[in-house]
Structures are given as structure tokens and as C-alpha cells.
Amino acid sequence: MTASPSPNAPRAVGTAIACYTLWGLLPLLFMAMAAHGFGAPEILAHRAVWSVFVAGLVLLLAGQWGEARRVLATPRTLAWLALSALLIGTNWSLYVFATTHHATLEASLGYYINPLLNMAAGAVLFREKIDRWSALAIGLAAIGVVIQTIALGHVPIIGLTLAVTFCAYAVIRKRVPASAQTGLFVECLVLLPIGAVFLAWLTTHGQAVGFASPSGLIWALVNGPATVIPLALFAWSARRLPLSTVGFIQFLAPTLQFACGVATGEPLTVLRIVSFVFIWAGAGVFALAAFNRSRAAKRAVALSEPV
């Protein structure tokens, strides 16, 4: 996805910052729900169910119901979106589990290395060129993961799985002919039956915290907009900003996730800090290289234009 300069660029930057801020603070919502008695599976089920309604509203406001009907009537596209739904559902499940079981720091690790993994996937799958700075960024992040493994005493499965599932999700969505809003709506439709059946089971067994009181229902309903609104903000801003700008801003989310983990008392040893220093260095090299490539491209365009 590329974006050309736009008079709306300042507003788009603000929108992108709002998007990644919401994503970065999402652990606080799940932690609060856990404190009110919600288990990770129930949180995920509410997320799957209530997101459909918000995603449908966004689709209506965007005037894309026609596209949604075409996608639902195209078996091949629908099959790919079903696969992407399973990937994002797996990602959501692991992320909710991590943030409600004191593993937010490891979750943030996954989202720090995700853009670097996307870059590696682009080279392998789409023959995109990796320059020396990009290779350095990937190398620094890889060192950070190794040190994180030593610090944890085991491979950071949560962080790596979050990165891999979101990368695979991004690869599929890159190839599927559907807009962000339509794709999300169809994905939510795919996940809806799973969430609805699980909530029905919890209700019949008297274990549905979200339906036990008005306050529980409010916490449950918040999951719909908390899931859909950041993605809608991302879709709007990404079309109006250069990828280099998005590359800088996207690291805001895992940084806030990291801060949430530290603020809630997750263990932060010296070795773990060292691992994140390497990961932050890789992220910084990635963002700086993207910014320099963008500036070089703009200069090349300016020189090629007739005076």
C-alpha cells in the first residue's frame, strides 16, 4: 500500500497515532476485564460476537455493503478470508491470554518484531529487496530474540507466535481482493458462530460473567468498538500517509504494551532489558531506513519532474 502526499496528512498522522495508541493500551481493557472475573476465552468470545455489529456499522457508513455481498458470493475470496479469520482469531486468543496472564512484555516483543518479519516475508514471498540497513534491523531483532530466550529460560513462544500469525494474516490480506472494512466484517462473521456457541454454553452453565450483571454486559460490549475502531482508523490513515511515516508510528503500540507490562509489575530483569535494547535498536534502524528511502524516492520524483 502506498500513499501520496495529502492535504489531510496532519490529520492522518493524528489518526494513526490514535490508532496505535488504542492498540497499545488494549492490554489495560483485558486486564480490567480479568479483574472483574472474565476469563480469557470469554473475553475472546465477546470480542468475536460484538465486533460483527460494529464492523457492520462501519461497513454501512463506508457504503461498502455491495462489496461485502460480492465477497460472500465468491467462494475463493471467502475461503481466503476464512483462513485469515482463523489466523487473526488465533492471534487474538494468544494476545488476550498473554495480557491476562502477566505476559504482556512477551506480547509486546511479538509486535516489535512483526514489521521486521513482514519485511523478511516480503523478500521471500514477493521478491522484495532487503538492503543492508534492513538486514541489520532483522539481525538486531534476531539477537534480541535469542537473548530473550536466555532471559526467559525458554523460547518466547507467545511473542513469536503473535508475530508469525499476524505476519501470515497480513500476507493473506495483501492478496485478497477486499477492503479492510469488508475483510474485517467477513472475518467477524466467520468467528461469530464460535463465539456465540461458547457464550451460549457459558450462559447455560451459569458462568457467563458478561451476562451476569449490567456492569458485566458493559465490559463485554466494549470489546466490539475496541476491536473495530483502531482498524478503521488505521485503514483511513494508511491511505493518506507514506509507509515510512506509518513505520515510525507503528512502534508506538508495542512500546505502550511494554509500558503496561512494566506498570503492572511484570518481571523485568537486566538480561530482558538487554534483549529489548537490541529489539528497539532493530526497530529504530528499520524506521530510519524506511524514512530515508521515502526521502530518496521523493527527491528522485522531484528531479524527474520538468522545471
pLDDT digits (tens, 9 = 90+) for 232-249: 887 777 667 765 566 667
**Residue 38, domain member (yes or no):** yes
Highest mean pLDDT of the ranges 103-112, 202-211, 228-237: 202-211
pLDDT classification of 294: cutoffs 50, 70, 90: low
Q: What is the mean pLDDT of residues 210-231?
A: 92
Q: Residue 3 domain-assigned?
A: no
33 versus 267: the higher-pLDDT residue is 33
Quick one: pLDDT at residue 1? 42
Asked whether the predicted pLDDT for residue 6 surpasses 70, the reply is no
| Domain membership of residue 127 as a residue range | 9-304
In a domain, 1, yes or no: no
The string of pLDDT tens digits covering residues 189-201 is 999 999 999 999 9
**What is the tens place of the pLDDT at every residue in 21-41?**
999 999 999 999 999 999 999
Is the predicted pLDDT of residue 5 greater than 50, yes or no?
A: no
**Model pLDDT, residue 69:** 93
Res 221: pLDDT:
95
Choice between 129 and 268, residue whose per-residue pLDDT is larger: 268
- Let me know: does 247 contact 287? Beta carbons within 8 Å: yes
pLDDT above 70: residue 178: yes
At 47, list the grid cell. Answer: 470480542
pLDDT of residue 2: 43
What digits encode the pLDDT tens for the residues 120-174? 777 777 676 777 887 888 888 889 888 888 888 888 899 889 989 988 887 888 7
- Say what the pLDDT of residue 237 is: 78
The answer to whether residue 85 is domain-embedded is yes
The average pLDDT across 242-260 equals: 78
Mean pLDDT of the chain: 85
Q: Is residue 239 part of a domain?
A: yes
- What pLDDT shows up at residue 304? 66
Question: Is 4 within the bounds of a domain?
Answer: no
- pLDDT at position 274 over 60: yes
Q: What percentage of the chain exceeds 70 in pLDDT?
A: 90
What is the count of structural domains for the chain? 1
pLDDT value at 115 more than 80: no
- Asked if residue 98 is part of any domain, the answer here is yes
Structural domain includes residue 37: yes
Of 84-98, 128-142, 269-283, the range with the highest mean pLDDT is 84-98
